[in-house]
Structure 1
Amino acid sequence: MNFQPIVPVGGLTGWVLLNNTLERQTEAFNKSPSIVRDTDYFEQKIGDIRMAEQLVSDRRLLSVALGAFGLSDDLNSQALIQRVLEEGTRDDDALANRLTDERYAKLTDAFGFAEPGLPRTRLEGFAREITDRFRRLEFEVALGQQDESLRLAMNTQRELQDIVTSGEDPDTQWFRIMGNPPLRKVFEVALGLPVSFGQLDIDRQLDTFKAAASSQLGIETLSDLASEERGEEFIRRFLLRDQIASFQVQSSGAIALTLLQSAPSIFRGT
């Protein structure tokens, strides 16, 4: 049986407790039988894989590869994954570049099947690079089964630094946020934006994100979140607003239940 993350409470308190015990918990999780079996198999076999077709044909290898990029839900979409991997990201019209979720492009670049010469699967250290990512994301998945908000916070801690320190132009960084569903959700909650605003034109969405970040976070570009302190402040803001929203839903539900319970006596005139 796999080790399950221990999260006695959620919200800000849960985040603090999680970080205080994270090293011990991740060590125990990484020793879980299924994690050890899957990562050992990947590290032993991936060096023999030279084509995308070989990867998608081996369900155990593909499970680790997709899990390392948060794409485990696509395990049964072999045709899609094979096409993404084979087309690469060099051409603007490559499938990975046309999909709104940037995780497909990151998967494609990591394996390099479309690049000249041998793929990155043959490089020394590649297998460990992928299995390290897999362990981290699998822990986040297990954490999400206990508390989805804490999973999103962990994902943000990992992904946000990669974006804000990328050196890309400010708008490109925002588009990467918008193309990463878990990160996008965190920003929407932290900035108090309704999910429905995602139906707006993409440029209007960009302007809305930038304006909200400037007025609420006091930042002009995402690079302002590069410091560990500012990044942690942002995560705590997300957790606080998410917790408040949860309390409001619970309170509304309690009020509705009270009204329903009192309805018979009201109709009886008592």
Structure 2
Amino acid sequence: MLNGAAALGILSGGSPGGGSNLSALNLFRQINKNEAKLRENYFNRKDVQQSIETFKTKISKFEDIDALVKDRKSLQFLLSSFDLDSEINNAGKIKAILKSDINDQNSFANRLNDKRFAELANFVDFKEKGFKNLRTASSQQKLIDKFLQNTFEKDLSGQNPDIAKAFHFLRNINNVSTTSSLLGTLQLREIVTTALRLPQEIARQSIDKQISMVEAKFDVKKAVISDQSSGISNFRQSRFEDDIQAIEIAKSQAISAENALSSLDRRLQNARERLKLLPEISSPDGFNANRIPIHQTAVKQLSEINGVTAAARSAIEELDPILKGLDERAKKILEVETQDDLDNLKAGFAEEAAKISDLIYHTARFRDPDTNTNINLFKPSGGVVDAGSPNSYTAARINYAYQDGTLDNNPITTLSGPLGANPYTVQSGTLGSNPYTVQSGTLGSNPYTVQSGTLGSNPFTVENSTLGSNPFTIKGGDLVVNPWRWFANHTPNRDSDNTAILKFRIPDHGLQAGDKITVAGTTNAFGADLNGTYTVHSVRTSDVIYIDVGVDLGSPPATHESAGGNSGTFVTNRVQVNHAGHPFSDGDTATFSGASSVGGQSLNSSFTVQNQSTNAYEFLLGSPGSAAATGGGGSVTVNASNQVTVAHTGHPFDNGDTVTFSGGSSVGGVS
């Protein structure tokens, strides 16, 4: 009877009735024995935790699926959770899957044979829930668990690829009950047919034929793992999930405590610094020595302002009933019947009205707390209050700790002086009648003549020539020892997403920002495999460029460090063309034909000229070549499709004029 070990034997090169690959089997048993510890070590790895934290941070900011798909790191995390990381470069396909209606059986995700795509669409359910399932703590944890499960198994494949397949097989075999359902699950189908040495071409046979071929060598029902083993596995998984959740909570609490302590520490440091300054602040001869006289003067001014405010408030309170009385008398005047009554109302109205000016003139005053003198603030001289004035109002003295010292009288001087009579003069004058004249006139009949003429035979010449043998060189070659360089003092050393920006040394590189470069053969640098294709971030010198590697490598080192080994190579998308006496300027279009491929790239197309010199120029490909190379063969021709010479004897044109042609045939492929 087949069990998990026998199934592993099949996956490792054995057969259902024969012996298994003992080295893989022994390795699997060793891993299985220490599975809990291995998983814990993997889950706690810095790069793994960094991937989780980066995803959780970024997913909270996305507004739509397009933003998610454009962010390669977040998309890689999501796809890895469903064992679809190989689809990372199929952005359009993934976008269509995530936008699929999971309730429509004819939607794109549900029509695909690989059920993992439907599983991904069902989990996200963007049409109904948006980003909720990727942001809510419970569903987000399920996604993280799937990510950890799949990436852990892939990590084991570094020791033996069959180990990862074995774990996947044992984890999923209980989900199928028939050979038909096994063949309908693409990953299990590939694992079992490969293990049974059945060719992939059996997919062209009828389903019944495929089932009979598999069942002749393999019994699905006997491969199912016992309930006890399954129970143990589920128990372990549950324990792992509980542990991860507890770790997440503890980590969150620790970060909060760390932030609180950091804030408290900063406040204590600020308090210490301020305490050190206290003697200087409190001493009359300290920091504020020059400001004390200013403050003393301001105290008197503030006291006057306070008096004005109190006086104005009192005046308003006294003025209000007087105005109301005047209003009532005005209404009575409209209803008066005798002259005596009118005279009495007029006299009373005048008496009350006289109080208004007296009230305003005499009430706006205050008692100076230093001299005990009543000062009238509305008098230009600031003189004393008139005798018989209404009740006076004393300003509240401002309590201020005066420093020793007395100011002279009137310590503040405002620069002023009277201007002469009518000091301003505005230039003006009166124009004569109808001073404006617009030039005009009437043209004769048919005054316009458009220059035209008929050109001679074949007047157009498109610049073209045949290049020398192998004129193209795709830039690239061997790298110097340890080309990757990183240092905390470099500017820049990180981008806005905290991914690392490293120096990359290539003597006389000739590259520009925006060029593309493929790096291969370098050893791990700063904890990561940095081989791959990049866009040049910026150029530092003729020997050094900056590359955004798209990976968070942690904090840059405090000292200048280099890495990458001595076997690296590079290739770019920049091509140099050797063309003696060419007619091109930067920005012109050069069209090539008759060239053989160079570095895996076809160069028979039109390109924009860059960096032209007397006998050479450059252009850019859409992507780097497969290798640095020189070639193109001996039959390469080039047309300057935007440079045409027109034979036109005695033409009337100047540079910058517009010329319109008609009736001509195509020349050099140009109409």
Shift in alpha-carbon separation, 1:160–1:47, aligned structure 2, 3 A = farther
1:11-160 superposed matches below 5 A = 11-49=24-62, 51-115=64-128, 119-160=132-173
CA shift digits 1:243-267 (9 cap, x unpaired) = xxxxxxxxxxxxxxxxxxxxxxxxx
Q: Give the superposition deviation at 1:64.
A: 0.7
Q: Verify the 8 A CA contact 2:97 2:108 in the aligned structure 1.
A: yes
Shift in alpha-carbon separation, 1:20–1:98, aligned structure 2, 3 A = same
For 1:174, which of 171, 180, 200 is the aligned residue? 180
Aligned to 2:224: 225
Distance across 2 between alignment mates of 1:87 and 1:148: 34
Q: Give the superposition deviation at 1:153.
A: 0.7
Shift in alpha-carbon separation, 1:184–1:57, aligned structure 2, 3 A = same
Distance across 2 between alignment mates of 1:229 and 1:191: 27
Shift in alpha-carbon separation, 1:42–1:90, aligned structure 2, 3 A = same
CA shift digits 1:24-50 (9 cap, x unpaired) = 112111222221111112233334546
Q: Verify the 8 A CA contact 1:143 1:151 in the aligned structure 2.
A: yes
CA shift digits 1:39-94 (9 cap, x unpaired) = 11223333454642232122221111001111111112111101011013322222
Q: Give the superposition deviation at 1:98.
A: 2.2
Shift in alpha-carbon separation, 1:230–1:218, aligned structure 2, 3 A = farther
Q: Verify the 8 A CA contact 2:99 2:127 in the aligned structure 1.
A: yes
CA shift digits 1:83-124 (9 cap, x unpaired) = 011013322222222222111111111111133676422433
CA shift digits 1:157-207 (9 cap, x unpaired) = 22233x24xxxxx66x834x3343331123224555343312223454345
Aligned to 1:245: none
- Aligned to 1:89, the other structure's residue is in SS state coil
- Residue 141 of structure 1 aligns with an amino acid whose one-letter code is K
1:185-200 superposed matches below 5 A = 185-189=190-194, 191=196, 193-200=198-205
Q: Verify the 8 A CA contact 1:10 1:147 in the aligned structure 2.
A: no
How many residues are matched? Answer: 209
Shift in alpha-carbon separation, 1:74–1:192, aligned structure 2, 3 A = closer
Structure 1: any 5+ residue segments left out of the alignment? 1-8, 165-169, 232-270
Shift in alpha-carbon separation, 1:10–1:125, aligned structure 2, 3 A = farther
Distance across 1 between alignment mates of 2:49 and 2:117: 25
Whichever structure has more helix as a proportion of its residues is: 1
Distance across 2 between alignment mates of 1:110 and 1:203: 33
Shift in alpha-carbon separation, 1:53–1:204, aligned structure 2, 3 A = farther
- Residue 15 of structure 1 aligns with an amino acid whose one-letter code is F
For the aligned residues, what is the CA RMSD? 2.9
Distance across 2 between alignment mates of 1:50 and 1:109: 19
Question: What TM-score results when the alignment is normalised by the length of structure 1?
Answer: 0.66
Q: Verify the 8 A CA contact 1:42 1:127 in the aligned structure 2.
A: no
Question: What TM-score results when the alignment is normalised by the length of structure 2?
Answer: 0.29
Structure number with higher relative contact order (C-alpha < 8 Å, ≥ 6 residues apart)? 1
Q: Give the superposition deviation at 1:22.
A: 1.3
- Residue 191 of structure 2 aligns with an amino acid whose one-letter code is V
Distance across 2 between alignment mates of 1:202 and 1:51: 41
Q: Verify the 8 A CA contact 1:152 1:182 in the aligned structure 2.
A: no
For 1:201, which of 191, 206, 211 is the aligned residue? 206
Q: Verify the 8 A CA contact 1:84 1:96 in the aligned structure 2.
A: yes
Distance across 2 between alignment mates of 1:151 and 1:218: 20
Shift in alpha-carbon separation, 1:105–1:212, aligned structure 2, 3 A = farther
Q: Give the superposition deviation at 1:230.
A: 8.4
Distance across 2 between alignment mates of 1:117 and 1:182: 29
Distance across 2 between alignment mates of 1:30 and 1:200: 43
- Residue 56 of structure 2 aligns with an amino acid whose one-letter code is E
Shift in alpha-carbon separation, 1:135–1:117, aligned structure 2, 3 A = closer
Shift in alpha-carbon separation, 1:180–1:218, aligned structure 2, 3 A = closer
- Aligned to 2:35, the other structure's residue is in SS state helix
Shift in alpha-carbon separation, 1:198–1:123, aligned structure 2, 3 A = same
- Residue 108 of structure 2 aligns with an amino acid whose one-letter code is L
Q: Verify the 8 A CA contact 2:109 2:121 in the aligned structure 1.
A: yes
Distance across 1 between alignment mates of 2:118 and 2:52: 22
Q: Verify the 8 A CA contact 2:56 2:135 in the aligned structure 1.
A: no
**Percent identity among equivalent residues?**
24
Q: Verify the 8 A CA contact 2:133 2:140 in the aligned structure 1.
A: no
Structure 2: any 5+ residue segments left out of the alignment? 1-21, 231-671
Distance across 2 between alignment mates of 1:88 and 1:139: 31
Distance across 2 between alignment mates of 1:228 and 1:190: 25
Shift in alpha-carbon separation, 1:138–1:115, aligned structure 2, 3 A = same
